[in-house]
Amino acid sequence: MGGVYIVKGSDPILRDRELALLIENLVGSDDRTLCVEEHTVPGKAAAANDDEAPTEDVSGAAPIVTAIVNAAQSPPFMTAKRIVIVREYEALPADACTPIVAVLGDLLDTTDLVFVTGAGGRVVKSLADALKDANVRGATAEKLTDVLQRELDRAGLTMKAEAARTVMEHLGEDAGRLGGLVDLWESTFGAGYRLELDDVTPYLNDAGAVKPYELTNRIEEGDVAGSLEILNRLMTVTSAMQPKPMHPLQVLGILSGRYRKLARLDRDTVQTVDHAHQLWGGKSSYPAKKALEAARALGADGFTRVFDELHQADVRLKGASAIPENAVLEIAVARLANLHRGGARSGSAPRSRGAARR
């Protein structure tokens, strides 16, 4: 019986890389153009907007299912096997899965079926049951550290801790770039090499995308320069996981939500980490502990100034100032970080209202 595979991955670049490695292994010495056939299941929304899609089949999956089944049941031509790739298989509706489930139960020895995840969604139960013993490649969630180690192992390279930290800080959440970088390092230094900081830094180029919590972390650490760096990356850098830069109002919304949640901990009744954890939520108490420390460091006066800063930034972003949007956020973020660095309790004089509204 042929092989059945599932290729997963939330990052499309990592997912396609995993697929390419699998197909390369399955093809072997055969001619890829003769033995690989690829099909993509159309999404329901796309098919519904297609004027040529049959009205009795809104999903538009019937022709694709027929093609997949025919390919899977056909013997190879001039090759040892036939490899059938099915992309976006989560979009298959229940009434279209029966023929594919039947094929999976009686697959030709010369056929390999490879199912590739797409935008997500629940797989029809009958198909999910038929695929429960499939060989799974990739992962739904990709941690940068795990991807780095996996790629280094594949290339036969090792990396010193300082170099690894620099790579991860620079790439942020853009794990999809690691495969190409490691390939480049392998071709430059050769398998068996131990990469040092000076070896990797010339190849890093542009900084990668980051998660929004990196911004609030840096602000609450009182790190002005680090906060501004993360802010710039949020509003300028794109990746496979973040196809568009964040709009300043999105960033402001994240900051406002964070401080509204922090303010819940700024009351006399919250005395312990356990109580803070009950209010904060989450599985671990560590985020609540850090949040409680941040709330106590700000105090009532600090929160007053924080929300004043956020209000002024909101007014400016909505047209009350000629200051560029990015600059508005930079000013607000720098002032917030300064408050966490000690300004809220230092007795420093607040800025003038006239200056804030210029």
* pLDDT tens by residue, 241-268: 566 778 888 889 989 998 988 888 877 7
Tell me: do 216 and 333 sit in the same domain. yes
**Domain match, 124 and 175 both:** no
Are 276 and 152 members of one domain?
no
Residue 58 confidence (pLDDT): 41
Q: Which residues contact 115 (CB under 8 A, 6 or more apart)?
A: 4, 5, 6, 7, 86, 89, 131, 134
Q: Which of 174, 247, 183 is nearest to 208 (CA)?
A: 174
What is the pLDDT confidence band of residue 60, given thresholds at 50, 70 and 90? low
- For residue 32, what is the domain's CATH number? 3.40.50.300
Q: Are residues 332 and 266 in the same domain?
A: yes
Per-residue pLDDT band for 202 (boundaries 50, 70, 90) equals confident
Q: Chain-wide mean pLDDT for the chain?
A: 80
Residues 326, 198 share a domain: no
Instruction: Check pLDDT > 90 for residue 316.
Output: no
Last residue of a domain, one of 203, 225, 244: 203
The total of structural domains in the chain comes to 3
Distance of alpha carbon 336 from alpha carbon 220, whole angstroms? 8
Tokens of 127: 């198909």
100 and 223 housed in the same domain: no
Burial class (CB in 10 A: 0-12, 13-18, 19+), 287: middle
To the nearest 5 percent, what fractions of the chain are helix, strand and coil? Answer: 60, 10, 35
Give the model's confidence band at 158: pLDDT under 50 very low, under 70 low, under 90 confident, else very high. very high
Q: Where are the beta strands (DSSP E) in the chain?
A: 4-7, 36-40, 82-87, 111-116, 135-137, 158-159, 194-195
The pLDDT-based confidence of 142 (bands split at 50, 70, 90) is low
Same domain membership, residue 165 and residue 280:
no
Percent of the chain with pLDDT over 70: 84
Whether 108 and 9 map to the same domain: the answer is yes
Spatial distance between the Cα atoms of 19 and 137, rounded to a whole number of angstroms = 8
Name the residue range of residue 117's domain: 4-137
Boundary-marking domain end, from 83, 110, 137: 137
Instruction: Evaluate if residue 113 carries a pLDDT over 90.
Output: yes
- For the segment 164-191, the average pLDDT, to the nearest whole number, is 79
Q: Record the pTM.
A: 0.49
* % of the chain residues with pLDDT over 90: 14
Q: Are 333 and 228 in contact, with CB atoms under 8 Å apart?
A: yes
Residue where a domain terminates, one of 137, 154, 170: 137
One domain, residues 108 and 10: yes
Report the pLDDT averaged over residues 321-343.
Answer: 83
Q: What distance in Å separates the CA atoms of residue 75 and residue 37, rounded to the nearest whole number? A: 13
Is residue 115 pLDDT above 70, yes or no?
A: yes
Same domain, residue pair 124 and 151: no
| Location of structure tokens 């629940």 | 122
For residues 29 and 70, membership in a common domain is answered with yes
Higher pLDDT, 282 or 198: 198
pLDDT greater than 60 at residue 231: yes
Backbone phi and psi for residue 61, each to the nearest 5 degrees, phi listed first:
-85, -20
Q: Are residues 216 and 323 in the same domain?
A: yes
Judged against a pLDDT cut of 50, whether residue 51 lies above it is answered with no
CA distance 295 to 268: 12
Which CATH number do you get for residue 309? 1.20.272.10
